[in-house]
Amino acid sequence: MNRAVGIFAHPDDEAIIIGGTLIQLAEMGWETHLICATKGEASTAYDREYVKKEDLGPVREQELLKAAEILGVKEVQFLDYLDATLVNQDEAEAVAKLSERLNALQPELIYTFEVNGISHHPDHKTIHQWVMKLLKEGRLNYEPQAVYLATVDNRAGRLKNGKLMGSPIEEITTIIEIERVAAQKAKAILAHRTQLNMLVNNGLIVDGALQRNHRHEYFIKLDGKGQAVQLAEKETQLPEVHKP
């Protein structure tokens, strides 16, 4: 089965980080899926005039389902952890739960966060660790074709805390141009209505469109066992589906 899965922490990670890739994979015939660890109920960036704090979880769950539809994603699963608690979860239990979901789906392509979670968010870093642990421990009952760690080019700027966001360009193996689907990606990002103020304030969305210098998505490619791969030059194409 030509399946690809994105494993992330919060509703909006998928659209912001790999939205353009998900759209194009679906167009190419990949059956795309998302596994989201939480419902984003601990967001501090939400629009207070639009939603009450206590409604954030269910509202953001619906926002993710709407974004997924725009991205052409077939199915969204939640791990039902509480937002901002991943680092405190029992790791063995979480790895077992995630392995079970992956073994049922058997996706050939796995997309998740790079080691610093792009933004250094503890939930993002924990998801990366869970995925790497299940690969290294051989918890999958099949071997994926590739694992892609989503990142950004760290020359793009620093976070408020002074840390660099993303990865050095030398470590990035794969750069996917998303210009053609930028409007569709913006629509999926905007489906996360509760987060709109943050998305506009941080400059990702300008006048309803994706900011001009956000027209590429960046990855570090690993093999199906989670080992680094050496590519002669940077990859710029998405993997083809297997012809049956």
Interacting residues with Zn ion (CB under 5 A): 9-10, 13
**Nearer to Zn ion among residue 10 and residue 33 (C-beta):** 10
- Cβ neighbors of 226 (< 8 A, separation 6 or more) are 131, 132, 135, 136, 147
- How far does Cα 147 stand from its chain's mean position? 12
**Nearer to Zn ion among residue 68 and residue 140 (C-beta):** 68
Q: Judging by beta carbons within 10 Å of its beta carbon (0-12, 13-18, 19+), is residue 136 exposed, middle or buried? A: exposed
Report residue 200 as tokens: 């506009």
The CA-CA-CA angle for residues 40, 121, 186, to 5°, reads 60
**Nearer to Zn ion among residue 28 and residue 198 (C-beta):** 198
CB-closest chain residue to Zn ion: 10
Give min distance, CB of 116 to Zn ion, in A. 13
Give min distance, CB of 173 to Zn ion, in A. 23
**Nearer to Zn ion among residue 88 and residue 141 (C-beta):** 88
**Nearer to Zn ion among residue 9 and residue 135 (C-beta):** 9
- Cβ neighbors of 166 (< 8 A, separation 6 or more) are 114, 116, 118, 151, 152, 153, 154, 156, 218
Determine phi and psi for 27, rounding to 5 degrees.
-60, -35
Give min distance, CB of 243 to Zn ion, in A. 36
**Nearer to Zn ion among residue 20 and residue 40 (C-beta):** 40
Distance CA 107, CA 144 (A): 7
Give min distance, CB of 43 to Zn ion, in A. 9
Give min distance, CB of 78 to Zn ion, in A. 14
Report residue 110 as tokens: 């796995």
Give min distance, CB of 200 to Zn ion, in A. 17
Give min distance, CB of 77 to Zn ion, in A. 16
CB 34 within 8 A of CB 83: no
**Nearer to Zn ion among residue 9 and residue 222 (C-beta):** 9
CB 3 within 8 A of CB 31: yes
Distance CA 27, CA 44 (A): 34
